[in-house]
């Protein structure tokens, strides 16, 4: 796990796609997420985003310590990740593939398809102090990166 200096040490290459096992059955598919198994953290919080109006964005923050696994359980959307020096956009559109976002990475979710559902599995319960919500502060925290 990253230290509290995650904004200074993290980079977007540490974020990675994780494919969950897909168990195929004639009556549908099943994917499973268990604590400390498929994901490199213990699950403390699960939430989902849905009914997002066209053209809207979600996210727009980074975390100091929280890890998140983000997946499109229905439809598709993009995640723009930013470590203060480099940026990358990843499209999520498969229910069994998600993006692990480490602490210290700014993320913006956008381009939601109609009917999309974004599932987020987090390593921490909600804690407002863990959020960096202003991009200017994020840039200040990441200014010393090489």
> pLDDT tens, 13-30?
999 999 999 998 899 988
The domain total for the chain is 1
- CA dist list (Å): 62 to 2, 10, 73, 106, 131: 13, 11, 22, 4, 6
State the residue range of the domain holding 96: 6-142
Residue numbers annotated as active site: 61
- Furthest-apart CA pair in the chain: how many Å? 53
What is the CATH number for 93? 2.60.120.10
Indicate the pTM of the whole model. Answer: 0.92
1 pLDDT more than 50? no
Q: Let me know if residue 55 belongs to a domain.
A: yes
Could you tell me the sign of the dihedral formed by the alpha carbons of 43, 129, 18, 78, in that order?
Answer: positive
Q: Let me know if residue 1 belongs to a domain.
A: no
Q: Let me know if residue 102 belongs to a domain.
A: yes
């Amino acid at each position: 796990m990253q230290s509290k200096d995650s904004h200074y040490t993290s980079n977007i290459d540490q974020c990675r796609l994780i494919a969950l096992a897909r168990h195929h059955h004639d009556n549908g598919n099943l994917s499973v997420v268990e604590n400390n198994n498929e994901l490199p953290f213990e699950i403390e919080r699960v939430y989902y985003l849905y009914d997002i109006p066209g053209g809207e964005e979600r996210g727009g923050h980074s975390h100091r310590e929280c890890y998140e696994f983000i997946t499109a359980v229905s439809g598709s959307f993009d995640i723009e990740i930013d470590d203060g020096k480099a940026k990358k956009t990843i499209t999520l559109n498969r229910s069994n593939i998600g993006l692990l976002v480490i602490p210290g990475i700014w993320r913006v979710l956008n381009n939601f398809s109609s009917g999309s559902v974004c599932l987020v599995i987090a390593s921490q319960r909600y804690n407002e102090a863990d959020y960096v919500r202003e991009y200017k502060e994020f840039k200040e925290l990441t200014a010393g990166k090489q």
